[in-house]
Amino acid sequence: QGYSRKAAALEFLQRLEEAKATYEEGLARDPGNEQLLQGLRGVETRLAERKLLNPFGAPDLLARLEADPRTRGLLGDPEYRRLLETLRSDPGQLGASVLSVKFGVIHHFWGSPQAQKEKELGNAAYKRKEFPAALEHYTRAEQLDPTNMTYVTNQAAVYFETGEYERCRALCERAIEVGRENREDYRQIAK
C-alpha cells in the first residue's frame, strides 16, 4: 500500500520518473501486486507520451537550431545548452523557466550574457565617439542574440551619428521587424 500511495503522489506531482522507480521498488517486494502493475503501466504510458509530445526531444533539435539564424548565436552560450538539455529530459521545466523570466529572476533564457557584454563595450566606444568600434561591438552582440532589437537600434544610432541616414533608416525598420517577430513590448518598438 505504501509504495502505491507514494508513487501515486509522485505521479500527481508530475515526477513520473520517481513514480516509476517507486512502482518498480514496490514490485520488487511484491511482484504480483496488481495495483502496482497497473500504476507502473500507467506511468510508463505517460512517460512515452511525454517523450512524443516534447519538442525538445527531437533528435535533430541542435541541427535545426544551428540552421536557424535566430537561434544560431545562442548555441554558443553554455547556459542555453544546459537549458536545452534540461528541457529535453523534463519539458515541464519550460514553465518554470518562462515564469522565472516573467517575475524578474535572471536566467538568461533567451538572452546571451556575451551579447550583453558586447553591447556594453559598444556603449563605451559610442560615448568616446569611436563609432567604428561601437558598430563592431553592436554587430557582434546582434550575432550572439539575434532576437534582441536593441542591438539593431544601437547600430542605427551609430549610422545616425555618422550621417549615414539611409543605413540608419534601414536598420530602424529591421529593428521593428525583429521586435515584432519576438513579441517585444510595443513601447520598445515605438522608440
Q: What is the CATH number of the domain that holds 144?
A: 1.25.40.10
What is the domain count for the chain?
Answer: 3
* CA 24/CA 123 separation, integer angstroms: 58
CB 118 within 8 A of CB 144: yes
170 and 132 part of one domain: yes
36 and 80 part of one domain: no
- Rounded to two decimals, the pTM is 0.44
- The answer, yes or no, to whether residue 131 has pLDDT greater than 50, is yes
90 and 155 part of one domain: no
117 and 97 part of one domain: no
| Amino acid 52: pLDDT | 56
- The answer, yes or no, to whether residue 49 has pLDDT greater than 80, is no
Is residue 108 domain-resident? no
* CA 27/CA 63 separation, integer angstroms: 41
Cβ neighbours of 22 (radius 10 Å): 25
Residue 37 belongs to what domain range? Answer: 2-53
- The answer, yes or no, to whether residue 141 has pLDDT greater than 70, is yes
| Amino acid 107: pLDDT | 38
60 and 48 part of one domain: no
117 and 175 part of one domain: yes
Which positions ≥6 away from 174 have C-beta within 8 Å? Answer: 152
CB 189 within 8 A of CB 149: yes
Segments in the chain forming alpha helices (H): 2-12, 16-29, 34-53, 61-67, 69-72, 78-89, 93-102, 113-127, 131-144, 149-161, 165-181, 186-190
Cα 134 to Cα 54, 112, 141, distances in angstroms:
41, 18, 11
| Amino acid 16: pLDDT | 86
Is residue 107 domain-resident? no
Which of 145, 170, 146, 175 is CA-nearest to residue 160? 170
